[in-house]
Amino acid sequence: MKFFIDTANLDEIREAYDMGVLDGVTTNPSLMAKEGITGDAKIKAHYKAICDIVDNNVSAEVIATDYENIMKEGRELAKIDDKIVVKVPMIKDGVKAIKQFSSEGIRTNCTLVFSSGQALLAAKAGASYVSPFIGRLDDISTDGLTLIEDIIRIYDNYAYETEVLAASVRHTMHLIECANMGADVVTCPLKVITGLLKHPLTDSGLAQFLADHKKGNQ
């Protein structure tokens, strides 16, 4: 399973990368705005700064919703760095653009996916990644993890190469369940990744080891 961090904060990206477990980054306009990154030039420069930290897979989102401008924005984003994956919304013109990007060798991440039918369309169009938003489904009393399971089964049925990128992952159990189901990627805040480190028996065991070592050296 690949671990992506869902942020535009460079310090968090560096921290996750330095742990040795980071495979990529996903961002969106909301995350950029949270970091005070506004304006086309600054946003592109920030994407480049992220690319300079990680080894691969930096999802950069288009803002346009019509085919011509999705293509224009996506091509411009792809020129920033070979690590860029163009993030395209699950709309009709988005699917059309994904097909064209695929033919041009530009990797894509189909975002805002909330049904297996949408995921099927993204795969048929040639998306590199499909991003089902499981946390947002949970928010409306729908089981987001069931969607992950359904998409994986459909992709396995037809040997689609599109990778399932579980997005809107809110906590460690989301991540573990996605891993159990065989999701290719999870993207989540740094706290979810570091949350995997925690276990009370690890803490108590380490405390005991250190206490015993101290006694033995008195």
The lowest-confidence range among 78-87, 139-148, 199-208 is 199-208
Q: What angle do CA 98, 128, 70 make, to 5 degrees?
A: 25
Of the candidates 106, 72, 114, the residue with the CA atom closest to the CA atom of residue 89: 114
Examine the residue annotation and report whether 87 is marked as an active-site residue of this protein. Answer: yes
Which tokens in the block code for residue 216? 């033995």
Q: Helix 40-51 vs helix 10-19: angle between axes, to the nearest 10 degrees?
A: 10
Given the residues 42, 87, 92, 191, the one annotated as active site? 87
Percent of the chain with pLDDT over 90: 90
Q: Which residue has the tokens 């993207």?
A: 187
Q: 4, 25 in Cβ contact below 8 A?
A: yes
Q: pLDDT value at position 215?
A: 82
The DSSP call for residue 166 is E
How many residues are listed for the chain in this entry?
218
Report pLDDT digits (tens) over 162-203.
999 999 999 999 999 999 999 999 999 999 999 999 998 998
Of the candidates 156, 136, 154, the residue with the CA atom closest to the CA atom of residue 144: 136
The DSSP call for residue 167 is B
